Amino acid sequence: MTHANEHAGHGREADRRSLAVALAITVSYTAAEVVGGLLTGSLALLADAAHMLSDNLSLGLALFALWLSSRPPTPERSFGYKRAEILAALFNGVTLVAISLWIFYEAYRRLQEPPQVMGGWVAAVAVAGLAVNAAAAWVLMRPGSESLNLQGALRHVLADLLGSFGVLASGLIILLTGWYPADPLISALIGLLILASSWRLLRDSVNILLEAAPQGVDPAEIGRRMASTTGVAEVHDLHVWTITSGFPALSAHVLVSAGEDCHAKRRELEHLLREEYGISHTTLQVDHAGDHATHGTRFLPLNTKRKPHHNI
Q: pLDDT per residue over 142-168, tens digit each?
A: 655 667 777 777 877 787 787 778 878
| Edge-to-edge strand list for the sheet holding 247-256 | 281-288, 247-256, 232-244, 298-299
Percent of the chain with pLDDT over 90: 21
The three-class DSSP label of residue 91 is helix
CB 191 within 8 A of CB 104: yes
Whether the per-residue pLDDT at 291 is higher than 90: the answer is no
pLDDT of residue 182: 85
pLDDT of residue 305: 45
Residue predicted with more confidence, 253 or 84: 253
Q: At what angle do helices 43-69 and 182-209 cross, to 10 degrees?
A: 20
Whether the per-residue pLDDT at 173 is higher than 80: the answer is yes
Whether the per-residue pLDDT at 223 is higher than 80: the answer is yes
| Region of 246 on the Ramachandran plot (φ > 0 left; ψ -120 to 50 alpha; else beta) | left
pLDDT of residue 7: 46
Percent of the chain with pLDDT over 70: 86
- pLDDT band, residue 1 (cuts 50/70/90): very low
Distance, first Cα to last Cα, the chain: 43
- What are residue 240's DSSP bridge partners? 250
Looking at residue 232, its amino acid is V
CB 56 within 8 A of CB 119: no
Residue predicted with more confidence, 264 or 57: 264
| Distance separating alpha carbons of residues 223 and 234, to the nearest angstrom | 9
Cα–chain-centroid distance for residue 85?
9
Whether the per-residue pLDDT at 178 is higher than 50: the answer is yes
Residue predicted with more confidence, 264 or 199: 264
Whether the per-residue pLDDT at 296 is higher than 70: the answer is no
What are the b/e assignments for 116-126, b being 16+ CB within 10 Å?
Answer: ebbbebbbbbb
- Average the pLDDT over 264-293 and give the result: 89
Looking at residue 286, its amino acid is V
Residue 240 burial (CB count, 10 A): 23
CB 196 within 8 A of CB 99: no
Whether the per-residue pLDDT at 2 is higher than 50: the answer is no
pLDDT of residue 142: 62
